[in-house]
Amino acid sequence: LYHMITLHKFALFTGRGLALIVLLLATQLFLSAGARADGPDKVYVTVGILDIDAISSADQIFTINVFVQFRWQDDALAHDGEGNIRRALTGIPAPRFLLINRQKTWSSLLNVVDISPGGEAVYRMRVWGDFSQPLRLHNFPFDAHDFKIPIVALSQDNAGVLPLVPDPREPSFMAQELSVADWSITEWSGDSAQLDITGEGEGNGFVFRFRAVRIYNHHVIKFIIPLILIVAMSWVVFWIDPEEAGSQLSVAVTATLTLIAYHIALAGKLPDIPYLTRMDLFLFGSTLLVFTALLEVVITSRLARSGMLGLARGMDWVCRLAFPVGYVVIAGWALGIPDLPGLVAG
């Protein structure tokens, strides 16, 4: 600034055009230096999901292969070369890019930046691994979830968060064929969003979202139908004469033990959550019916031994109709109604 004032005085006293030219050049250099000190004012982002390997409800994670490209303009990086040059990201003044929910991942690209002669920088990263995602599993196995990849860019001097905006030249994308077998991707999008970064304040980041709907055919065939058959097996006791108490008890106990084994097999499919899912309610209703059938066997066998065989047979006849009707009501209530207020609410 001192030199600029001196040149201005020189121009006034001498009236020389050369001094004015020098003054203009000095002003431009001064302004350019100030702009360079500030660094980029925003970063363009492109996110591409190359593959989705798995979505784990029990571990609350999803495993993906994702490509991310960051592009920004920084005059301080301009050079005199004829084409792009490549520099290490840590060797130049550049933002720090964070994928907030990234967990155990591996990178397959070099940590370098391609810089054009005009100062445009492009940094690419390809990451494969696990990303955390809290899931609300109330409607399991008929649930759908929004999965997110939140991204932030911290300024090179760690003074704040740089705005991230979708790249108009290279929009985000999702691969047509994905490896995940038990989920269907119905929609996806990528846009700027306000993110709260712990320790760094709040800033305008970027969030890539995709919605996944669980394909429940597998769960119906492997879990729900076998559970229905186990419960139906316990109803066989109503068709065995109460005089044959040993046969009735054998069937009832077998159904109960099979249901316990079923509980153990299903336990690893869900995390330890403090609320009930639709599957939990259906399983609880099924267990209650099997246990009630066991109690009915004990009661009718006692009645038969006490000389009230007609009453015992009448109870069996009523249960032949009441239990299937009750099970249909339980199944419709647990699996079919649109909402379960108070029971599945977290």
Helices (H), 147-277: 217-219, 225-234, 245-267
User: Which pLDDT belongs to residue 7?
Assistant: 41
Residues 124 and 105: their CA atoms lie apart, in Å, by: 16
Residues 228 and 284: their CA atoms lie apart, in Å, by: 12
Residues 282 and 227: their CA atoms lie apart, in Å, by: 9
DSSP calls for 29-80: HHHHHHHHHH--S-EEEEEEEEEEEEEETTTTEEEEEEEEEEEEE-GGG--S
Predicted TM-score (pTM) of the model is 0.76
What size, in residues, is the chain? 346
Instruction: Name the pLDDT band for 157 (thresholds 50, 70, 90).
Output: low
pLDDT tens column, 68-95: 999 999 999 999 988 899 999 988 888 9
Q: Bigger pLDDT: 345 or 257?
A: 257
Residues 64 and 55: their CA atoms lie apart, in Å, by: 9
pLDDT tens column, 295-317: 998 898 888 888 898 998 999 99
Is the Cβ–Cβ distance between 273 and 137 less than 8 Å?
yes
Q: Bigger pLDDT: 94 or 341?
A: 94
Mean pLDDT of the chain: 83
Write the single-letter amino acid at 313: R
